[in-house]
Amino acid sequence: MELLLQPEFWSALLAIIVIDLVLAGDNAIVIGMAARNLPAHQQKKAIIWGTVGAIIIRALATLAVVWLLKIPGLLLVGGLILLWIALKLLVSDDGHENMKASGSLGAAIWTIIVADTVMGLDNVIAVAGAAHGDFLLVIIGLIISVPIMVWGSTMILKFMERFPVVIYVGAGVLAYTAASMVTSEKFLAPFFTAYPWVKWVFIVAAVVGVLLIGRMKSQQQKRLAEQN
């Protein structure tokens, strides 16, 4: 009960929810494309069982990452990877056209599990980083991600298309989580503790830098697309 009264717990949970909401879009596309050739009565089964399988694998992967991030140096590496993921989120990448629809229920389930596991790496790193080693937060985050992926993903995609600012909020949360991971690295923590203002300058610079660079690259891509 004491844990539930700590503001750090709720701020971390809020970060995980935002991460799940923003990063669920790609997974929704994978699920939809893998099941689209199935008969209507099998599509729901493929989505549910494929997602369940993917969530089980993701749960094991996330718990493993939480454990791995305790190894010296890996928080720094994980934070830098997450910064790249946050930047990539802002740059449009339509890489789903090569995703093949499956003709059988078993094949569709397997496609969803494999594709979601591969594409879910960003989610795993982000949730593990936001949880700060708290396994309870990891489990809650995964429980939240299930209904998001199965039922809410299409709505989220439309919402993000209509209100692009949501993507920037999500990228900002990812960048903040990434910068916090870097400043929490064991061999860097003493420096940031001694100079807390440097810690916050670094975090703000990471968030602002990701948002500005991401916006610039996104606009550059749009201009190139219009020229072609």
Q: What is the mean pLDDT of the chain?
A: 75
Higher local confidence (pLDDT), 184 or 128: 184
- What's the pLDDT at 2? 57
Tell me the C-alpha distance between 45 and 35, whole Å: 9
- What's the pLDDT at 206? 94
Tell whether the model's pLDDT for residue 175 goes beyond 60.
yes
Tell me the C-alpha distance between 215 and 89, whole Å: 10
DSSP string, the chain: -TGGG-HHHHHHHHHHHHHHHHHHHHHHHHHHHHHTTS-HHHHHHHHHHHHHHHHHHHHHHHHHHHHHTTSTTHHHHHHHHHHHHHHHHHS-----TTPPPPSSHHHHHHHHHHHHHHHTHHHHHHHHHHHTT-HHHHHHHHHHHHHIIIIIHHHHHHHHHH-THHHHHHHHHHHHHHHHHHHT-TTTHHHHHH-HHHHHHHHHHHHHHHHHHHHHHHHHHHHHHHH-
Tell me the C-alpha distance between 11 and 180, whole Å: 13
- What's the pLDDT at 74? 79
Query: Which tokens sit at 134?
Result: 């708290």
Tell me the average pLDDT across 176-195: 87
Tell me the average pLDDT across 95-116: 64
Domain ranges of the chain: 3-227
Query: Which tokens sit at 46?
Result: 């493929």
- What's the pLDDT at 32? 63
Tell me the average pLDDT across 109-127: 70
Tell me the average pLDDT across 159-175: 78
Query: Which tokens sit at 19?
Result: 């991460």
Work out the pLDDT band at 119, boundaries 50, 70, 90.
Answer: low
List, in order, residues 6 or more apart from 61 with CB less than 8 Å away.
117, 120, 121, 124
pLDDT > 70 fraction of the chain, expressed in percent and rounded: 73
Tell me the average pLDDT across 66-83: 81
Higher local confidence (pLDDT), 172 or 20: 172
Tell me the average pLDDT across 107-116: 72
Tell me the C-alpha distance between 45 and 29, whole Å: 17
Work out the pLDDT band at 202, boundaries 50, 70, 90.
Answer: very high
**One-letter amino acid for residue 37 of the chain:** N
Tell me the C-alpha distance between 228 and 210, whole Å: 27
> pLDDT tens across 4-20, in order?
557 777 777 777 777 77
Tell me the average pLDDT across 105-131: 72
- What's the pLDDT at 200? 93
Tell whether the model's pLDDT for residue 144 goes beyond 90.
no
Work out the pLDDT band at 116, boundaries 50, 70, 90.
Answer: low
Tell me the average pLDDT across 127-133: 75
